[in-house]
Amino acid sequence: MKIQLATLISREPRWFFTVILLLLFMCFPSGNHIFSDSVNSQHEIETHQPRPAIGTRGLGLSRAFISGADDATSPLWNPAGLASLDRGNLIYDFSQGAFSLAYPINPIGTFGINLLDLNLSDRFLVNHDSNPIGTFEYGYNQALLSYARKFGPVQLGASTGYSRAPYQNSLWAPNYDIGALMTLSPHAIVGMQIRDISGVSIQDKNGIVLKTFDPQFAVGTTLIPHQFVRWHASFNTVPPSLGTSVEIVTGPLSANVGSHFSFDTGTPTHSWSLGLAFKQWGKQTYYTFLNENNLEYKHLLSIGLTFGEPQQTSDRLRNEKVKPISSNTTPIETPQTPDNLKGAESDLSSTTPHVTPQTPDKPYPEKVKPTPNSSLKKSIQIAKKHNISIELMLAIIYVESKFNPVAVSKTGAGGLMQIVPGTAREYGLKVPRYSNKLKPNFDRKVDERFDAEKNLNAGLVYFNYLLEKYLNNLTLALGAYNVGPGKVRIRGPLISRGKKYAESVLNRRDLYKSDRKLLEKDLKRLEVILKN
């Protein structure tokens, strides 16, 4: 049922808003609605408290999730993290009864909804002491509607919703959060969040204050010294607390250990956590062991589902996709990596144009200056238009299709750049709906993937999108081109198949750099294909 719902939402974005409105209608009672399901008495109420921390993954990182939030639970830690999503994400936290759903809609931004404490008895399936999986606070309800958008290296987000405290006769009251994330480099991210900035008070039907949430301000940072290692840290000013965690990521598995220090009472208290995550085939599983003295249940578990086609693209790429791609479109000036730029330095023969290598003072290549005898004009123009080195462009084509413009893979990808039907349509190519995608129509007017020039342009636009998405990390962009961006996290690492593919492309690129005759041969080969 969850898979059917996810498929419907991914195909029809209007269903996303329908689901949000339905859930909000079901979960937002009127201001006079009274709850009496709590076991806490009025005498046990502590008026001023921070909002409790919710979410298996964030708690597993010892609450150092301010700068690392990048899934549907992001609004519980930093709503700006929603802008990292390029596909829909649904997560259910069994231990705390938290339902999180997020979906990006271009060019508007990413929307999310979080509903907390959906379990009737706050226990996973069975409310019994022998059940090892559970929550640490009874009856805390919250419903959040969130929005986030990315502006270059900066992500901004906000949440608004209603909350109620875990006490008898508690009323719903509004609260608001805002957050920001900034990617300083592929190795460093900083973030901040202000929580419940309105100072929400929750009262009973007689107007007696039951609980207020102190405004909270938190800052965090994530450092990535190696593609397999991440260090997370966060500091919360109210109440004063510090969280830190080291995470090891390899393929679909990740593990972390962290510590949290609270200085609220003047006497520092310490807790620690262990976390495990498994992400594969669009599914996620998170487990946390949380060692806090005041918690009876220390095991937390949540599962997630990623769905839909990649959505997050820049306005520049969207403009490129809305019309069929041809050699007359405006060049895309995509930021380059050092590996990508070095290819422009090759000194080709007199039949080959020369592209000036890029420097910090010259972010884009100078105009191509073909020689009078140049027969490679179209190939060079396409490379220049997409701001990609000749060597890298040829290497991708070689590894993908061996320069066969009608190649079809076992997964139904077709043409020079081996584009699957769905991606081809998204990037402006006309592709029929096949009952058997392994037996396509090779007529280039029917299936434009087999028009070599349109296929090459579409593939390079898609590759440049991936290069931007993965922060100009050439290896990750290549791996995502092969296995799909849904299987590659923004900061890696790559699964083995994607890693082998990236190595193959880079090895072929280096071969072109060292063997000028091979480079000229394959350039002429491509030119013949493009002219047919």
CATH label of the domain that carries residue 335: 1.10.530
Domain termination residue (choose one: 307, 331, 357): 307
Helix (H, G, I), strand (E, B) or coil at 177: strand
How far apart (Å, rounded) are the C-alpha atoms in residues 279 and 488?
10
Question: Which residues constitute the domain of residue 36?
Answer: 2-307
Q: Which residues contact 77 (CB under 8 A, 6 or more apart)?
A: 55, 58, 65, 66, 69, 193
Domain count across the chain: 2
% of residues, the chain, pLDDT over 90:
37
Distance CA 82, CA 74 (A): 6
| Per-residue pLDDT at 460 exceeds 50 | yes
Q: Would you please indicate which residues are annotated as catalytic (active-site) residues?
A: 400
* Cα angle, residue 180 at apex, residues 177 and 184 outer, rounded to 5°: 165
Residue with tokens 């790559």: 494
Question: Residues 45-74: pLDDT tens digits?
Answer: 555 566 778 888 998 898 899 998 989 999
Domain termination residue (choose one: 307, 328, 358)? 307
**Within 10 A of 379 (CB to CB), how many other CB atoms are there?**
26
> How confident is the model at residue 200, as a pLDDT?
63
Please tell me whether residues 439 and 498 are part of one structural domain: yes
Q: 335 Cβ partners below 8 Å, 6+ apart? A: 363, 467, 468, 472
So what's the pLDDT on residue 375?
A: 46
Sheet with 209-213: list strands edge to edge: 48-49, 209-213, 201-203
| Two tokens, residue 66 | 């301010």
Q: How far apart are CA 1 and CA 80, in angstroms?
A: 29
Q: What is the pLDDT of residue 168?
A: 60
Question: In whole numbers, what is the pLDDT of the chain averaged over residues?
Answer: 75
Q: Which of 1-5, 47-51, 217-221, 279-283 comes out lowest in average pLDDT?
A: 1-5
pLDDT band at 393 (very low <50, low <70, confident <90, very high): very high
d(CA 299, CA 433): 47
List the helix and strand counts (H, then E) for the chain: 12, 17
Do 41 and 172 fall into the same domain?
yes
pLDDT value of position 311: 54
Residues 52 and 190 in one domain: yes
Which one has a higher pLDDT value, 168 or 277?
277
Alpha-carbon distance 75 to 85, whole Å?
Answer: 13
Whole-number pLDDT of residue 143: 85
What is the CATH number for 84?
Answer: 2.40.160.60
Claim to verify: residue 90 and residue 217 sit in the same structural domain: yes
On the question of pLDDT at 347 being above 70, the answer is no
* β-bridge pairing 48-49 and 209-213: parallel
Average pLDDT of the segment spanning 438-465: 93
Q: Choose between 155 and 490: higher pLDDT.
A: 155
386, 303: one domain: no
